[in-house]
Amino acid sequence: MQDLKNARRKFLRQSAIAATGLIFMPTIISCETRSGAPSTSTAPAAAPEKTGRKLGIALLGLGSYSNGQIAPSLQFTKHCELRGIITGSPEKVPVWQEKYGIKDENVYTYENLETIADNPDIDVVYVITPTATHKDFAIRAAKAGKHVWCEKPMAMTPEDCQAIIDACTKNKVRLSVGYRMLHEPNTQKFIALSKEKAFGEFTSATSYAGYAGQDPPTDYWRGQRKMGGGALYDMGVYTINGLHYGTQMAPVAVLKATQDRPTDVDVTTEYTLEYANGMTATGKTSVVTNYNLLKIEGKNGWHQMDPMQPYGGVKGMTSEGTVLGPPIDGKQQTLQMDNDALAILNDKPCLAPGEMGRDDIRVIRAIIESAETGKSVDI
């Protein structure tokens, strides 16, 4: 039966490749990090480990992102594969087992997650649940001795992020944040321009990410502040991380911020950050208005991503008219998971470490404080 499922899976995979023409070349990146700042060197990482072993991934939380993006992307990864699920929704189990050929012994609930410690099939637990639940799930996975991949935004507070980092360190497992943009090839070219200051010293930066949706309903976690709902956590974290990789600097203060909160959560947030060199950056994020841009101005010109964070079609350009490259043909998440798997297999730093996720949450908290007090807030 398992053989039949595997054969069917292989057939589906080959058909999908043939039908879409998708060919994935995982970007192999050496991932030095400097105080949480992303490295974007395009120098090749060490070769995949000699055994060619694939890491077994268990998805924790089978909601829309798992279902629509991560599980499909895992069908194309070279260095990891979907082997397990951890869910609180029993009705999803047979559907996922049938679709992805997941063995009975690799199915877990939130209650028996700890028993995954005894399962050699599973190397990584990928936490893809509401943001306020990341901390507890990630720590439990780390204590079970599994590497942790944690979706963005990493957690509710810098302290919660640090608790995840500490648990992973203590249990000698690896931790990556699901910042897919850092694995996207045009974004990597953009970052390379930032690192070399191709257009001179930076003078200003702009970072916008929003979509024209509805106010999130208050009976859903995205409409609940305590669960990590709202524009700033959900979409704003892209603008903050984008400024981080775009400027290669951490901001030192939030000069001002405003939040539009018609219900429990913000639907739009706008902010101004200040850097140690006196430069400022403006950001805005929304779940009711469409915009998507990351632009870094230098003394001699600019480079930008427009749009900067959709699942596909990310485009980069410079003031000289250079287009950074065609939008990638395929899923960013496939590149992300292969890079994160290679970082584990080769024992190299990853592109999106927990410290980076934590530093972004620190900026989010400072923006909220500035909006609530009407004052500038040091970070």
In the complex with ligand NAD, which residue's Cβ is closer, 62 or 343?
62
Residue 180 is a binding residue for ligand NAD (CB under 6 A): yes
Q: How many residues bind ligand NAD (CB under 6 A)?
A: 19
User: Encoding tokens for residue 52?
Assistant: 């060619």
Q: Is 151 in the site for ligand NAD (CB under 6 A)?
A: yes
The yes or no reply on residue 129 touching ligand NAD (CB under 6 A) is yes
239 is a site residue for ligand NAD (CB under 6 A): no
Q: Is 162 in the site for ligand NAD (CB under 6 A)?
A: no
Residue choice 221, 245, 271, 302 for contact with ligand NAD (CB under 6 A): 221
Which one, of 15, 127, 135, lies nearest residue 76 by Cα?
15
Which of 234, 270, 340, 359 is close enough to bind ligand NAD by CB under 6 A? 234
Q: Is 64 in the site for ligand NAD (CB under 6 A)?
A: yes
Q: How far is the CB of 339 from ligand NAD (least distance, A)?
A: 14
Which token pair is 114? 């700890």
Show the binding pattern over residues 130-149: x = contacts ligand NAD (CB under 6 A), - = does not.
xx-x----------------
Contact status: 61 vs ligand NAD (CB under 6 A) = yes
Which residues in the 79-108 window bind ligand NAD by CB under 6 A?
A: 88-89
- Chain centroid to Cα 334, Å, comes to 12
Phi-psi region of 137 (alpha: psi -120 to 50; beta: other; left: phi over 0): alpha
Q: Which is nearer to ligand NAD, 268 or 272 (CB)?
A: 268
Q: Nearest Cα to 261, choosing from 230, 227, 222?
A: 230
Residue type, 248: Q
Q: Which stretch binds ligand NAD (CB under 6 A): 73-81, 114-122, 125-133, 365-373?
A: 125-133
User: Measured from the CB atom, is 234 or 359 closer to ligand NAD?
Assistant: 234
φ/ψ of 162, rounded to 5, equals -65, -35
Nearer to ligand NAD, 88 or 313 (CB): 88
| Residue among 328, 303, 273 nearest 196 (CA) | 303
338-357 binders of ligand NAD (CB under 6 A): none
Burial of 51 per CB tally in 10 Å (0-12, 13-18, 19+): exposed
Q: Which of 199, 293, 245 is nearest to 31 (CA)?
A: 245
Nearest Cα residue to 232 out of 116, 371, 33, 66: 371
Q: Give CA 283 to chain center in angstroms.
A: 19
Q: How is 263-276 classified by DSSP, letter by letter?
A: SSS-SEEEEEEE-T
- The reply to whether 63 sits near ligand NAD by the rule CB under 6 A is yes
Site of interaction with ligand NAD (CB under 6 A): 61-66, 88-89, 128-131, 133, 151-152, 178, 180, 221, 234
